[in-house]
A and B are shown apart, each in its own frame.
Chain A
């Protein structure tokens, strides 16, 4: 019996706004368990760009915003320099069936400067990756 693709989703979120949008879109579909992941970027050897307290605050705001739409979720906060690797590790830890995320637009330069996590996530993943559409069209 093959596993359903949405049996257990790992959903990375960046901030409150992103979490809200992602949850809003996801809520239009059928899903099983959801583990929301927020990765706090660490310097690993150099001071972080964001104070830890502010970063953790962002994580908790993002989870809260997500719960506004989908209350029954598990949450994970990962601390890593490499955001994509952290997401993949969490997915492996919880044995997720797929990773669902909302790719964010932006021009080439911005994507280059921010490391184009979307591309890296898709290419590095060892399990299915679902890109959620920017706007829901099936209503």
Chain B
């Protein structure tokens, strides 16, 4: 079922992915930039467009590998944040957001230029509004597009295909007729090669569109094939068209005429296609700029989402509108910034160049991220598309160097604005993100590097233990250590986490200063955890975190640490209403992708020690419970293990076995499934009608009861099931509820991994 669902969630084929990329690529760039590019580098600006294409092709290869390895919303930002940490994550996140808003503003001004001075030649009342008219038109259209995304107006895939394909047809017709008319180039390279290189920076904004394909990675069918193919095709097609358009433009009009034109492509078209041709080009330009800006606003909202998810940005922005089902706040903010940028009037060239600058910085870091991930090779990173053997590491190195080379060639003002945005990202990191970004290891916490920890964390068994109560801390850590020791004596480690929860109404910093007491308590708690770990002879790391919601923070820690097991304490009382076992326990137990254990501590000296009984039922997680029991027994000095099975007294089946024999068989089979058949254990078969009652009675004779989850949750938020929870609530002794890895919580990514492993 779940695999089926993954398939259903993927509804973009190659053609859709390609047209999404193409639709964003063919935008204002090709319609507005020929005038600026021609002014800067003459006919040689063709080479600039070609160079931009090459740089993008390198980025597309690296991005394809990252996107198939980690198909997550957020695109480049996500990969950089994951590989290089929140410092670079802040820079790229803000950089991409800025880049997309600058690009949107640029598209919209391009729209205004074609709509007013362009259409104004044919439609009387549109003429003569001047620069102010362009700005107003741009503002109005940007506001409309923000509204479209806010209200979640659904565009249709077929409409998109029609627009994109007619744009391609239009440009091809332009090229064909233009070339037939016999363009004659003037001096090919009037301003020299440095100008050509600098022009790459100017025109690079026309190439940022293919990123949209990466941000939609989780929606693409058969991503290992379609994603790289769509990306490469979405880079190559426009590159050839851009080069061709530059060739025709500079060959048809003089450089001076091009440079002063606000609607260069239409003016060129007039020369050989007449008025009709020019009009068609104008309509095409209007459509193209609108579709590009629309895609950019949506992409910006995704970057927002990803930053909020990683706590680099306030999650407030990610609120989903309860009716329109859109991230309306992120869209509104993006829209407002775009409007401001249009209104400020920094000039269409500068807008384009700043967007280019931010994306070149982003792609430079994306290339670094590929190398870092390849070398670090974390477990979760299994790209289904890899840069081909002969091209790695040449592609990322060349890509990185070329991005930097273009960056240093760019206009000083642009470099200054770009640097301001980067510095903002850095300041944001130090001022905000460092203390909150929970998704990465460096942040918001006091890490105590443990000397016994090995340098290389690969393959190490990790147990995450959230601790909150000094009285139960020792027992929980001991039980976690028992589990860790059972796996790898030398390298296993326990990670103690404490979360200070701050209510939503207060700001995190404000609350912290007022609540120094809580921080102090947190420190004490973790200090004593370290002492306990020394006693237990187990590697321990501590993580102190301040955040809104303990459950999701713990889940983040589990994912980051790549934990194998999470062990939580439970007070034994069910909460009413919204939660089943507790607001923190429900999500952690429900969604943790690893083994999860919930411990209700009973009287002292019997907490995972003494006489331990494990329920040997036929449930899917019974073996896990038996394993836990075996781990505790192995770690304790003087402990015994009993496996219990309850059978109905009357045997309805045709088998000759007596109920007791049947129970014994179940137990033997379970021991084998749990891999504990070598251990010495007692078996106990109880005959009773009421299984639950029988278990509760027997359990009270022991010190610790281990029970497996009865609900095998295909759905997250499933808790253990009614039987284990009842035992937990009713048996006064220590009760350990265990389950194995959750089957389908991590959605797309894990499913893909699993499919690839086969």
- Which A residues are closer than 8 A to B by beta carbons? 14-15, 17-18, 20, 40-54, 56, 58, 60-61, 63-65, 67-69, 71, 75, 77-81, 104, 106, 110, 113-114
In the complex, the chain B residue whose C-beta lies closest to that of A58 is B320
Beyond the given pairs A40-B9, A61-B717, 17 more chain A to chain B contacts, judged by CB atoms under 8 angstroms and listed by A's residue number, are: A15-B320, A43-B12, A44-B11, A44-B157, A45-B12, A45-B156, A45-B158, A46-B155, A47-B12, A49-B327, A53-B747, A54-B305, A68-B578, A78-B8, A110-B323, A113-B324, A114-B324
A54 near B717 with CB under 8 A, answer no
Chain A residues within 8 Å of B212, by CB: 47
Chain A residues within 8 Å of B249, by CB: none
Query: Please, could you name 7 A-B residue pairs with CB atoms under 8 Å apart, sorted by A?
Result: A43-B155, A46-B16, A47-B295, A54-B305, A60-B591, A60-B717, A79-B11
B715 near A54 with CB under 8 A, answer no
> How many residues in B have their beta carbons less than 8 Å from beta carbons of A?
56
Chain B residues within 8 Å of A14, by CB: 322, 325
In the complex, the chain A residue whose C-beta lies closest to that of B149 is A49
Partner of B151, one of A43, A54, A106, A113: A113
Chain A residues within 8 Å of B517, by CB: none
Name the distance in Å between B321's Cβ and chain A's nearest Cβ.
9
B318 near A52 with CB under 8 A, answer no
B219 within 8 A of A: yes
Chain B residues within 8 Å of A106, by CB: 323
Name the distance in Å between B81's Cβ and chain A's nearest Cβ.
14
B9 near A52 with CB under 8 A, answer yes
Chain B residues within 8 Å of A51, by CB: 73-74, 218, 302, 305-306
Interface residues of B in 266-299 (CB under 8 A from A): 295, 298
Chain A residues within 8 Å of B580, by CB: 67-68, 71
Chain B residues within 8 Å of A64, by CB: 586-587, 590, 716-717
B73 near A54 with CB under 8 A, answer yes
Per-residue interface assignment for chain B, residues 367 to 396, with 1 indicating a CB less than 8 Å from any chain A CB and 0 otherwise: 000000000000000000000000000000
In the complex, the chain A residue whose C-beta lies closest to that of B152 is A49
Name the distance in Å between A21's Cβ and chain B's nearest Cβ.
11
Q: How many A-B residue pairs have CB under 8 A?
A: 127
B298 near A49 with CB under 8 A, answer yes
Partner of B154, one of A43, A58, A69: A43
Summarize A's interface: helix, strand, loop or mixed: mixed
A46-B157 in contact given A14-B322, A17-B322, A106-B323 (Cβ < 8 Å): yes
A79-B577 in contact given A41-B325, A47-B212, A63-B715 (Cβ < 8 Å): no
In the complex, the chain B residue whose C-beta lies closest to that of A64 is B717
B587 near A77 with CB under 8 A, answer no
Kindly state the separation between the CA atoms of A20 and B579 in the bound complex, as whole angstroms.
Answer: 11
- Which B residues are closer than 8 A to A by beta carbons? 5, 8-9, 11-12, 16, 20, 72-74, 149, 151-158, 160-161, 212, 215-216, 218-219, 295, 298, 302, 305-306, 309, 318, 320, 322-327, 577-580, 586-587, 590-591, 715-718, 722, 745, 747-748
B9 near A47 with CB under 8 A, answer no
A43-B578 in contact given A63-B717, A81-B154 (Cβ < 8 Å): no
A45 near B73 with CB under 8 A, answer no
Chain A residues within 8 Å of B718, by CB: 67
B324 near A54 with CB under 8 A, answer no
B322 near A18 with CB under 8 A, answer yes
Kindly state the separation between the CA atoms of A42 and B151 in the bound complex, as whole angstroms.
Answer: 15
Chain A residues within 8 Å of B154, by CB: 43, 46, 81
A50 near B11 with CB under 8 A, answer no
Chain A residues within 8 Å of B152, by CB: 41, 49, 114
In the complex, the chain A residue whose C-beta lies closest to that of B715 is A75
B9 near A50 with CB under 8 A, answer no
Chain A residues within 8 Å of B327, by CB: 49-50, 54
Which residue, A43, A56, A78, has most C-beta atoms of chain B within 10 A?
Answer: A43
A114 near B323 with CB under 8 A, answer yes
Chain B residues within 8 Å of A104, by CB: 323
In the complex, the chain A residue whose C-beta lies closest to that of B328 is A49
Name the distance in Å between A37's Cβ and chain B's nearest Cβ.
12
Kindly state the separation between the CA atoms of A45 and B19 in the bound complex, as whole angstroms.
Answer: 9
Kindly state the separation between the CA atoms of A79 and B38 in the bound complex, as whole angstroms.
Answer: 48
